[in-house]
A = this chain, B = another copy of it.
């Protein structure tokens, strides 16, 4: 409880929660963890406001009153993908460059008696939360800032994994396993090469997860193409041919971010449309074309795109629980007065898999990326090691199905009722 009044009278402290960056199948489970936990401490936390479209909601004082939502609706966030309050790709500039934005945030927080700021996002967002906490101190405004980890890219440091990753990983491993069975069925007379493109421009975590689609010698997937390693077309083609000749077919997962040896994204390597414009189309069709031109095999390719990060119908139970847990922990950390920290997942053992929530300071997290370790990739560069499996398998374990209505998942739509504005419009 923080005192905002000049006199002795205590007033209630409110909280602000915002979603940031690319959404996931379980970011709403974190929101659920925050709101449900806050509701259990009515003496300490008044209302949880959510930013409409993330941090923009704070800048433009467009606050959603989550107190207007029923317990059932908040509970249903746990099984609803994407960002229920709207997210934003909006990075606040440095404190020096754009002090006005940070000041505005503090003004909005002050106007609505917000003493807790929960920012649910990736590396940039953790950095922003850290800067907001610094600005609060500089403006002598009592504010507790907690970052809540979220990213399908799994690239945040100091946490064993990132909520959102496990579900995307489970979806990709399952989808590739299914498509591989399809290709195996067709290979004798039809498709011999199947290529699935995977998100993760800078880190190959999701590409590695595709390796969980199969196990054992010769089983699909046969080739994984990681963004960490240069794509050498001749070597790739040789291996595709070898695989088709020995196995009858070849299943490939490729990161959207693979680069040629000279460091260029393969996706930008020269396709042109009828008007001569560079085509930004995916890597998968590009590779498929290469396979056809050079080896003559019939191919199919898939680009799951948003499907892979929104597939709540196939979420990992581990991931859902961890997403909820970091939301819950964020509130508890805040109530213990911890400022400028982020709850993390700490792995206690692989088998049986055991984990707990810990925390780190935002200063330690900010602007660091965790790369896929080279020893998770096999020596030849096209597969994952036993160590990678030991790390990955627990993260995709368990199912957590949403309820269905008329054959499709019954995802919740919140009322999203705005709070009356108290300040003039932001012109920053």
Using CB atoms and an 8 Å cutoff, list the residues of chain A in contact with chain B.
19, 22-23, 25, 53-54, 56, 80-84, 86-90, 170, 173-175, 177-179, 181-186, 188-190, 194, 196, 212-213, 269-275, 277, 279-282, 285-286, 289, 293, 300-307, 309-314, 316, 393, 395-399, 401, 404, 406-409, 411
Contacts and interface: CB of A to CB of B under 8 A. Distances in A.
27 contacts: A25-B178, A53-B189, A82-B182, A82-B184, A82-B185, A83-B186, A86-B188, A88-B189, A90-B189, A170-B408, A175-B307, A177-B411, A178-B307, A179-B305, A179-B306, A179-B307, A182-B306, A212-B406, A271-B272, A271-B273, A272-B274, A273-B289, A282-B285, A285-B285, A302-B305, A302-B306, A313-B314
B81 A313 contact: no
A310 B182 contact: yes
B189 A56 contact: yes
Contact of A273 (B87, B181, B270, B306): B270
A408 B272 contact: no
Contacts of A269: 274
A51 to B, nearest CB: 11
| Oligomer copy total | 2
A173 B409 CA distance: 9
A14 B283 CA distance: 49
Contacts of A170: 407-408
Nearest to A83: B185
A354 to B, nearest CB: 16
Nearest to A187: B86
Interface centre among A86, A179, A196, A286 (most CB of B within 10 A): A179
A88 to B, nearest CB: 5
A401 B404 contact: no
Contacts of A408: 170, 173-174, 177, 212-213, 396
Contacts of A173: 407-408
Contacts of A196: 307
